[in-house]
Amino acid sequence: MSELSQNAKQVIAEHLPRYPNKQAVTLPALHVVQQEKGCVSNKAMREIAEILELSPAQILDTATFYGFFRTEDNPLGQKRIWVCRSISCMLRGGEELLAALCEKYGIAPGETTPDGKLTIELAECLGACDGAPCILLEDELHLRCSLEDVERLANEPLKK
């Protein structure tokens, strides 16, 4: 059975005509797979490589360069929250927020809660320094966050 969903294959196919070569579809392909599965498995990488006419090692090389993608031995939880620790957020309590959140859920940055619900990540500058400390939930920025704000976001039901 194919590891890539119909949707993933379709997204990849839609991207192919946009670029003069197939390798350029690597990031869009990794994004759609991780979005659906919470990680990019070895089998998915082999299938992406086959479609893009690359070696699986090239996909692995790119996937692991970016801190964003997860391999199958380290999948994401249902929600992923990034807490910014760069200079503007650090000056307004970003580091303390990250530490407090990790303590609250008993995990370190990069880890997922045992129930698989939440992954906490440390982030470098998220580009919302006017709202420090800020966090990123999936790909949405939330500004001026207290620990309570982040907990509330973590506990909200998943958007579908």
Partner 1 sequence: MSQTEFKPVLLGRVGKPDSQSLASYRADGGYEALAKALKMTNTEVIDVVKNSGLRGRGGAGFPTGLKWTFLPKDITGPVYLCVNGDESEPGTFNNRVLIEEDPHQVLEGIVISSFATRTTTAYFYLRYEYGKCYRALKQAIDEMYANNLLGKNILGSGYDLDIYLHRGACAYICGEETGLIESLEGKRAWPRIKPPFPAIEGAFRRPTVVNNVETMACIPHILKHGPEWFQSMGIPKDPNNPRDAGSYGPKLYCISGHVNKPGLVELPMGVTARELIDKHAGGVWKGRTAKAVIPGGLSMGFMTNAELDTPLDFNGPGRVGCLGLGTAAVVVIDDHTSMVDVLYNSCRFYAHESCGQCTPCREGTAWSTKILERIRQGKGKLSDIDLLMEISNSIGVMPGTTICGLADGAAWPIKTAINKYRSEFEEYIKSGRRSESAALAHSH
Long-range contacts of 93-100 (CB under 8 A, 24+ apart): 93/132, 93/133, 94/132, 94/133, 94/134, 97/133, 97/135, 97/145, 97/146, 97/147, 97/150, 98/122, 100/147
Q: Which of residues 106-125 bind partner 1 (CB under 8 A)?
A: 109, 123-125
State in angstroms the smallest separation of the CB of 85 from partner 1. Answer: 8
CA 30, CA 49: separation in Å to the nearest integer? 11
* Residue with the two structure tokens 């194919």: 2
Nearer to partner 1, 118 or 123 (CB): 123
Binding residue for partner 1 (CB under 8 A) from 62, 76, 77, 118?
Answer: 62
Per CB under 8 A, 145 contacts partner 1: no
Q: Which stretch binds partner 1 (CB under 8 A): 38-46, 73-81, 97-105, 149-157?
A: 97-105
Nearer to partner 1, 101 or 118 (CB): 101
State in angstroms the smallest separation of the CB of 60 from partner 1. Answer: 11
Beta pairing class for 118-123 and 79-84: parallel
> Cβ distance 39 to 3 under 8 Å?
no
CB atoms near residue 13 (< 10 Å): 11
Q: Which of residues 13-52 bind partner 1 (CB under 8 A)?
A: 18-21, 23-28, 30-31, 52
Q: Which residue ranges make up the site for partner 1 (CB under 8 A)?
A: 18-21, 23-28, 30-31, 52, 58, 61-62, 65-69, 82, 85-88, 90-92, 95-96, 98-100, 102, 109, 123-132, 136, 138-141
